[in-house]
Amino acid sequence: MFGSVRPFQPELRHRESAQYKAVYCGLCHTLSKRYGARSRLLANYDFVLLSMLYWGGGCESGKRRCVRHPFRKQPVCLGGDASDYAADALMLFTDWQLRDTVRDEGGGRRLLARFLRLLYRKPFGKAKERLPEEAAACGKQMAELWALEDKKDASLWKPASAFGEMLRCLGAPGGRAAESLLYHLGRWIYIADAFCDRVSDAKTGAYNAVTLHLGENPDPNAVGEALASEQEAVLKALDLLPDGVFGDILRNILTLGLRTRGHEALYGKSKEKEVTG
């Protein structure tokens, strides 16, 4: 479910929406600068949040062209160390995501993941060199997650916590509050992803923690309670962090944004209107 953590656009002010898009474009340009032009294809919303979370005071702004917008320049906002760290972390996690796909999936998806790992082999290696401690910690937690999958562990919380620990390792620049926020956000992502994948996992025989923990037809409301608990912990951690430049956008992402994505995962998009109340 990488890329699912994004704002609830109807509640963003016009200026905030423009800022969010500019930071996304900044992440895309940073990926190109640090890892080559084709790395832009890997940009996603989750790591825009990481960039905003660690943003300093200023913003190197301007307008630039890109492959997606070759004729009309788009506003770009670059955050120096924050943009660099988010780009490095994105490459690191994309590598692990592809490794997981190779391990768990079959057919075309496995072949595509293998091809992408080969295509981005050098950039992935460079990200590990730039974030050696995070790479080691992520590898340890991924091995723990795979061990739980191999033994078909019926606990929902053990694998969710292992994934949460993977994201926690990216919290060092923001201190303990950022680590806690990312840990619970990781648990939220894992649980929502497992619920969304339960039907396809049943067809392929893949491990699914929600199915093993709650049965083949889990109550969406029970899963919703778990998501709400993790979101509450995320927001408590957010309250301990300084507002920063993008405080209102982060709060939108982690309140209405997460709530909307959760309802879409559990009930479909028809429930989206309920999150605004």
Q: What is the pLDDT of residues 16-34, one digit of tens each?
A: 999 999 999 999 989 999 9
The C-alpha atoms of residue 15 and residue 29 are separated, in whole angstroms, by 21
Average pLDDT on 143-155 reads 95
Q: Which two tokens stand for residue 46?
A: 């989750």
At residue 77, the 3 state secondary structure works out as strand
pLDDT in tens, 158-193: 999 999 999 999 988 889 999 999 999 999 999 999
pLDDT in tens, 239-273: 999 888 889 999 999 999 999 999 999 998 754 44
**Residue pair 10/51 in contact by the 8 Å Cβ criterion:** no
Write down the pLDDT at residue 73: 77
pTM over 0.85: yes
Greatest extent of the chain over all pairs of C-alpha atoms, in Å: 53
Q: Give the residue carrying structure tokens 């927001």.
A: 235
Q: Where are the beta strands (DSSP E) in 23-82?
A: 60-64, 74-78
- pLDDT range class, residue 71, cuts 50, 70, 90: low
The secondary structure of residue 12, as a DSSP letter, is S
Domains of the chain by residue range: 1-130, 132-241
Flag whether pLDDT at 274 surpasses 70: no
